[in-house]
Amino acid sequence: MDSLILLMLLLLPLAAGVAIPLLPPPLARPAALAMAGAQLAMGLLIALGGKDLSTFVILQSWLPQLGLALDLGLDGVSLPLLLLASALTAMAVLATPVNQERPRFYFSLLLATNLGLVGAFLARNALLFLLAYELILIPTTLLVASFGGAKRAGAAVRFLTYGAASGLTLLAAVLAFVWLQPHDGSGPWTLSFAYGDLAQHALSPGNQRWVMAMLLLAFGLKLPIVPLHGWQPATYSQAPTPVAMLLSGGVSKLGAYGLLRFGLELLPDTWALFSPWIAAVGAISAIYGALNAIAQLDMRRLVAYSSLGHMGMLVLALAAATPLSLQGVVAQMLAHGLIIALLFCVVGMIEAKTGTSAIDELSGLLNPQRGLPFTSALLLLGLMAAAGVPGLAGFVAELLVFEGSWTAFPIPTLVCLVASGLTAVYAVRLFNRVGFGRLNNARADWKSTTWSERLPAMVLSGAVLIAGIWPQALTGLSESTTAALAINTAPSAIAASPLNS
Amino acid sequence: MTATIAGVRPPLIPPSTHPYAEVIHRLEAGGSMLPDTPENLQQIIGIYKAYAVPMDFYWRDLLYIAERVFLNPLPAFKYFISQEYLDRPNSYAGENAALRIWRGGEKAHPELLEFMAKGETRAMPKLLHHLWHDRVNMEFAEACMQAMFWHQGMGGRFNDYIAGDTYRANADRAIKAYFKGNLVMLGLYKLFPEMFLEQVRQLSYTANLGLFWEVMAPVFFEMSDLYDEGQLTSVPQAMDFLVNGIFAVAGRPIYHHVFIGGECFEIIPKSEGFTWLYEAALPYVEAVFYRTSPFRGTKSYNSQAQQVPAHQADFHYGILYADVYPVGSAGIPPTLLMQDMVHFLPPYLQELYKQHRRGEEDQLVQLGITFQRSMYNVTSAVIQALRCAVLYPLNDPDPEHLKANRHFFEAQMDRFLRPEARLADIQTQDYR
Amino acid sequence: MATILETAAGAGVFSTLLAAVDAAGLRSALESPGPFTVFAPVDDAFAALPPGTVQTLVDNPPQLARILKYHVLSGAYSRSALVGQPEWQSLEGAPIPIRRSEPFEVKNATVVTADIVCDNGVVHVLDRVILPG
């Protein structure tokens, strides 16, 4: 039964993705929404069911010669990410304009992205993970190239190039993992890419370092982190809003998840060795993202650089690898996923209504008669959440990250704290320019947003609010798993409460 | 003297080189600052009617305050107008009017009475309506009065008179009569005579404004009726009606009578010779259309950075320069007026607003802009009337006279050169 | 010679003006020795005003008196004297500009006939009613 549910999580997007091109165009959107909703519902059932997650497992041999097996499972880290992926897919479907052109093509690509995400998070086999990781590149590139903004061609090419490089490097790393293992020459190669088997690898320290370096490169291209971020601002600003939400909120988490799974879990000693550098890169990323965001004149690029900055903090927490900081990693992945999706959603709404995302051209959107007061209010919420204002999800995540990383890497943590302060700078600047001031009457020729247009932003805002005042939402599922993954021992999770399982 | 459209003979003077040359030429041809389009006409007539209904309340209540409430130290009920003042016959409407401008009745307009009974909510005791602020925004009228009171140097003899000794003596008599037997207030009066005198001056301006608007309400009602009958077909025609109205009533006396204990105290008697045109209309246009004052509570002004002009004459916060976006704060005078007008819009204007911008949602903004257009038309009428009074006819054969007219128009247009002026905006229909 | 008002009555084109003088109660003032300079608008000038203007003024003597006083100077001045100064103070208080000497223009009115000498002053005939402001 449980394995059936697990399979359904994958089959739903697959079936829907295949079925949608066969449906009449008006049905594409409801079908996609239904699929995402069903997937989310199932994920919630699993999460709130309270059952031991080890019962949700599928092991089906597929291509034993290659070592590829349908090896699916859930644990404390992948389950929340699964929920995030389905939630963001649902929000992306809702955020798609009703008059989307070529809806069947669009929604099937969206669902293919979902399939890739869910497959990657559910995979317990490195090749399966790799398959999903590579597979996701195609629909996302197509989405950007077909439906994106004016400069989508260049952005898509860049995205594809960096993504392909990431995929190839990961391929090399995964293969090296197995092939570089000492083989005593007796008997045929038994290839197994299952996580469990990989965890018992016998790589030499030198080889471990090579593999780690490749993993860092591959996932660093995906997250992204400085200096591998060349594709990100262009892609996020040219992608259509729902795609940007999914990319920044979901797909970028693949990088973090990969580092957690492959780097930290499978190569802990090497991770400990590399971690000072990783922490430094994280801190640099955070400052770089924040400073660039302050300088931006376009709202979408500003949000893109904001995302870069927050990913940097995530990387710092990963590097620190204390139980608390790893909780922070999961919390940051979830919180950032929700917040950045909210920000892109709202910025997209503003752009759709006003026709521009240039900060210089916008002002006075809070005007109650002719502005976009509701949307601007949600923008404020999103910006505050990104800045880490208590009461919202961003604060919970950042608190865990900073408190968890402080003992391991004080200087990078301090730098990230400064970066966090800088987020308030660009948040305030953006809102001051765009929300306050006098609305330009000559440009204010739009209808107000309808409730159906506001729905995804409202749901995301609600989630951000709830997570802010009920932090268990972000960390509850993952506490035990992250504690097990930690390298450094202190600080550990905050005092165990009867609610912890 | 009605202005006529110039004939086909070649112009006697070369064209103007002023930035607003097009508008000036239109004025010289007998037109208005507002372009002559059917939609403009529809908009301004509709808004005149919507303005006239609350104005009917304003003038009655202003006179009520100036004549009856007078120096009441706690005038909590000054907006609770008495039936006598609701029934007070408008001197320019009804069958018994000496100069009948409006063919309708002389008492309060039926739409006004209906609104006073029900408001936006439902029929409630007057006090509840008042506390819920579901009433006519009399605060707007008082803000206009304050503008006229505060600004100096607008022409007319009113201000000099109320600063003089005759007025002081009249006011003194009235104050003493009003507070007869009230030792506390009389004692205060002995201590602070100037304070009481200032209050009486303010009340004189209240009466002034009330008498001004008593004329404008029937003018607007008649224009609306003529338009509905199809007899007003162009914007210049509407403007001419206003010009004729201005002249017809120009000689109306402006006075301030107070009724204390059944006796009438003439604080400003009619015999002083103050006229509607010079002491009421022209100062009103200057104070309320051009100058007013920055709206308090919405924006901070740094006087050292000269964000507010040093001279009153440079103030540019009136309706002709107004920014359409009241921030939504309560109490900004144009917002109050717009809120009043939205209750009395004729159906054709409601239809028009539904078709543009956000339809019913931003009716207030749309009608605010319409109101601005209409006030440009009224200002054009005032400018044409002034030209008629002190300068030459538009079809004067003498080029020297035409040059004098041109000079006058250009000087008027110079006041709209500053960036806040909306004259350029109203030339297109897009400005909504 | 006749007084100003007798001369006006005799000319036959000042009936509106004379009626206004009576309504405003200025007859005795204008019969006094003065001397005055009176700018007298003809009947057509009053008729050219928009309808109702004169009626409203006639119904309100103090206001009418003000407009009429604006047409009177204290002292008797002929045309040649008048053109010597750009502005003259009227009895009402507001100034009367002399805009041109040839043709003789007082504010926005043209003097049709100038220098009609009377017992108590001089009359200049205007083709328009002049107004202060």
- From the list A304, A16, A13, A252, the residue with the least C-alpha distance to A140 is A252
Q: Name residue C90's beta-bridge partners.
A: C73
pLDDT for the residue A468: 94
> Which H or E run includes A110?
helix A103-122
B389 to C133: CB separation less than 8 angstroms, yes or no: yes
User: Between β-strands C87-89 and C95-100, what pairing exists: parallel, antiparallel or unpaired?
Assistant: antiparallel
Selecting from B323, B365, B431 the residue whose C-beta is nearest the C-beta of A369 gives B365
A441 to B357: CB separation less than 8 angstroms, yes or no: no
CB-based contact B225:B102 (threshold 8 Å): yes
CA dist B248 and B234 (Å) reads 21
Q: Which sign does the torsion angle of CA B171, B174, B177, B180 carry?
A: negative
Selecting from A441, A445, A448 the residue whose C-beta is nearest the C-beta of B324 gives A441
Q: Taking the C-alpha atoms of A221, A226, A229 and A230 in order, what is their torsion angle to the nearest 10 degrees?
A: -130
B365 to A447: CB separation less than 8 angstroms, yes or no: no
What are the DSSP calls for B106-118, one per residue?
Answer: SSS-HHHHHHHHH
Which residues on B lie below 8 Å from C55 (Cβ)?
98-99, 248
pTM metric for this prediction = 0.82
Q: Which chains does B contact via 3+ CB–CB distances below 8 A?
A: A, C
CA dist B247 and B382 (Å) reads 10
CA dist A17 and A386 (Å) reads 33
CB-based contact B90:B213 (threshold 8 Å): no
Selecting from B247, B270, B392 the residue whose C-beta is nearest the C-beta of C60 gives B270
Query: What is the per-residue pLDDT across C74-93, written as a single tens digit (0 to 9) for each?
Result: 999 999 999 999 999 999 99
> Which H or E run includes C41?
strand C36-41
**SS3 state of residue A374:** helix
C100 to B273: CB separation less than 8 angstroms, yes or no: no
B323 to A438: CB separation less than 8 angstroms, yes or no: yes
Selecting from B243, B250, B253 the residue whose C-beta is nearest the C-beta of C62 gives B253
Which residues on A lie below 8 Å from B327 (Cβ)?
367
With 0-12 / 13-18 / 19 or more C-beta atoms within 10 angstroms meaning exposed / middle / buried, residue A356 is middle
Closest residue of chain A to B432, computed from CA coordinates: A441
What are the DSSP calls for A122-136, one per residue?
Answer: HB-BHHHHHHHHHHT
Question: How many helices, marked H, and strands, marked E, lie in chain B?
Answer: 16, 2
A447 to B358: CB separation less than 8 angstroms, yes or no: yes
Q: Which sign does the torsion angle of CA A402, A404, A406, A409 carry?
A: negative
Q: Who's near C54: CB < 8 A, 6+ residues apart?
A: C16, C20, C46
Interface membership of A450 toward B (CB under 8 Å): no
> For testing the chain B interface, which of C53, C55, C87, C92 should be mutated: the one with the most B CBs within 10 Å?
C53
Please, which residues 349-368 of chain A have a Cβ atom closer than 8 Å to chain B?
A: 364, 367-368
Angle at A169 between CA A168 and CA A175, to 5 degrees: 90
Q: Name residue C36's beta-bridge partners.
A: C74, C121
pLDDT for the residue A497: 47
Size of interface A-B (CB pairs under 8 A): 29
Q: Among all chains, which residue has been given the structure tokens 């921030």?
A: B327
CA distances from B121 to A20, A183, B109, B128 (A): 51, 87, 20, 11
A370 to B325: CB separation less than 8 angstroms, yes or no: yes
A448 to B361: CB separation less than 8 angstroms, yes or no: yes
Closest residue of chain A to B358, computed from CA coordinates: A447
Which residues on C lie below 8 Å from B275 (Cβ)?
63, 66
Which residues on A lie below 8 Å from B430 (Cβ)?
442
- From the list B220, A139, B278, C113, the residue with the least C-alpha distance to C127 is C113
CA dist A106 and A58 (Å) reads 30
Query: What is the per-residue pLDDT across C4-58, written as a single tens digit (0 to 9) for each?
Result: 888 899 989 999 999 999 999 999 999 888 899 999 999 999 999 998 999 999 9
pLDDT for the residue A187: 54
pLDDT for the residue B209: 97
The nearest CA of chain B is from the CA of A432 a distance in Å of: 15
Please, which residues 70-109 of chain C have a Cβ atom closer than 8 Å to chain B?
A: 93, 99-100, 107-108
Selecting from B270, B389, B392 the residue whose C-beta is nearest the C-beta of C62 gives B270
Interface membership of B431 toward A (CB under 8 Å): yes
Helices (H), ranges, B192-259: 193-229, 235-249
> At residue A194, what are phi and psi to the nearest 5 degrees?
-65, 145
Residuewise pLDDT in 10s, chain A (501 residues) = 778 888 889 999 999 999 999 999 999 999 999 999 999 999 998 888 877 878 788 888 878 777 788 888 888 899 999 999 999 999 999 999 998 989 999 999 999 999 999 999 999 989 999 999 999 999 999 999 999 989 999 999 999 999 999 999 999 999 988 888 776 665 556 667 888 888 887 788 888 899 999 999 999 999 999 999 999 999 999 999 999 999 999 999 999 999 999 999 889 889 999 999 999 999 999 999 999 999 999 999 999 999 999 999 999 999 999 999 999 999 999 999 999 999 999 999 999 999 999 999 998 898 887 889 999 999 999 999 999 999 999 999 999 999 999 999 999 999 999 999 999 999 999 999 999 888 887 778 888 899 999 999 999 999 999 999 999 888 888 888 888 888 776 666 554 445 544
pLDDT for the residue A491: 66
* 3 state SS for A147-188: HCCCCHHHHHHHHHHHHHHHHHHHHHHHHHHHHCCCCCCCCC
Residuewise pLDDT in 10s, chain B (432 residues) = 445 555 556 678 899 999 999 999 999 999 999 999 999 999 999 999 999 999 999 999 999 999 999 999 999 999 999 999 999 999 999 999 989 999 999 999 999 999 999 999 999 999 999 999 999 999 999 999 999 999 988 988 999 999 999 999 999 999 999 999 999 999 999 999 999 999 999 999 999 999 999 999 999 999 999 999 999 999 999 999 999 999 999 999 999 999 999 999 999 999 999 999 999 999 999 999 999 988 776 677 888 888 889 899 999 989 999 877 654 455 678 888 999 999 999 999 999 999 988 888 888 889 999 999 999 999 999 999 999 999 999 999 999 999 999 999 999 999 999 998 999 999 999 898
CA dist A401 and C113 (Å) reads 100
- Cβ count within 10 A of residue B401: 21
B282 to C57: CB separation less than 8 angstroms, yes or no: no
CA dist B201 and B167 (Å) reads 9
Please, which residues 344-373 of chain B have a Cβ atom closer than 8 Å to chain A?
A: 357-358, 361-362, 364-365
